[in-house]
Amino acid sequence: MAHDPHAPDAGEAPHHPEEHEHPNWGTYKWVALWLTLITIFEVWLYYIPSFVASKLFIPTLLSMSALKFAIVVMFYMHLKYDHTIFRRLFVGPLIIAILTLVSLLFLFGHLAIRIAS
């Protein structure tokens, strides 16, 4: 990386971008392994009819998907190591996107709130 000696924004806590080296093969291989294992586990669950029918199926799959998502973003995209500004640029929109998606599903009746009537 092109290391720039200048400190960041005056209003923010001093933090040196790219100070941390990016991780290397030692980390990456574990990340890849985990991603593979989770994916295999997900697909395996898909083939267990009783589990698919259970209430746990969707939450389990969603959380595993989210986990994979987070792993890639943190390690492969280095968000864990990079400048906070990148984290804000990504996480802010991501939150709005997820909230929008969830509200839309509510509005179209795929997730239902029932109020005793």
Residues that bind other proteins (CB under 8 A): 1-2, 4-12, 14, 16-17, 22, 24-25, 28-29, 31-32, 35-36, 39, 42-43, 45-46, 52, 57-58, 61-62, 64-65, 68-69, 72-73, 75-77, 83, 85-86, 89-90, 92-94, 96-101, 103-108, 110, 113, 115
H and E: helices and strands count for the chain: 4, 0
Q: How far is the CB of 51 from other proteins (least distance, A)?
A: 11
Distance CA 21, CA 81 (A): 8
Q: Nearest to residue 77, comparing CAs of 15, 22, 11?
A: 22
